[in-house]
């Protein structure tokens, strides 16, 4: 099998996996990311690393908040009036 064909198949598989990511998977990954950096003392790391940790926390919380908001809207059939 040519390298080009193998790359094409790999890309299709990766994309298919991305499409089947569940909300639970997204929340779990975000939670694990927060847990991974939770106990790191920001005063003991460089400023760049501290900013990276803050970004991980913020992005993970954003993911969780967005997924929960979607589920809430579906469960309670909330109209977006805001």
pLDDT digit string (tens) for 20-32?
A: 789 999 999 999 9
Q: HEC profile for 42-72?
A: HHHCCHHHHHHHHHHHHHHHHHHHHHHHHHH
Does residue 11 form part of some domain? Answer: yes
Does residue 45 form part of some domain? Answer: yes
Per the listing, tokens 């913020």 go with: 58
Task: Categorize the per-residue pLDDT at 5 as very low, low, confident or very high, splitting at 50, 70 and 90.
Answer: low
Domain range for 71: 3-76
Q: How far apart are CA 5 and CA 40, in angstroms?
A: 44
Q: Taking the model in full, what pTM does it have? A: 0.68
What per-residue confidence (pLDDT) applies to 33? 97
Does residue 81 form part of some domain? Answer: no
pLDDT digit string (tens) for 36-82?
A: 999 999 999 999 999 999 999 999 999 999 999 999 999 998 666 55
Q: How far apart are CA 3 and CA 14, in angstroms?
A: 16
Tally of domains within the chain: 1
What per-residue confidence (pLDDT) applies to 81? 54
Does residue 82 form part of some domain? Answer: no
């Amino acid at each position: 099998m040519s390298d080009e064909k193998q790359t094409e198949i790999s890309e299709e598989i990766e994309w298919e996996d991305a499409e089947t990511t569940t909300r639970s998977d997204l929340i779990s990954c975000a939670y694990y990311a927060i847990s991974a950096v939770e106990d790191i003392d920001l005063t003991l790391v460089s400023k760049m690393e501290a900013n990276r940790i803050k970004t991980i926390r913020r992005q993970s919380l954003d993911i969780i908040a967005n997924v929960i908001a979607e589920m809430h809207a579906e469960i309670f059939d909330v109209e977006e009036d805001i």
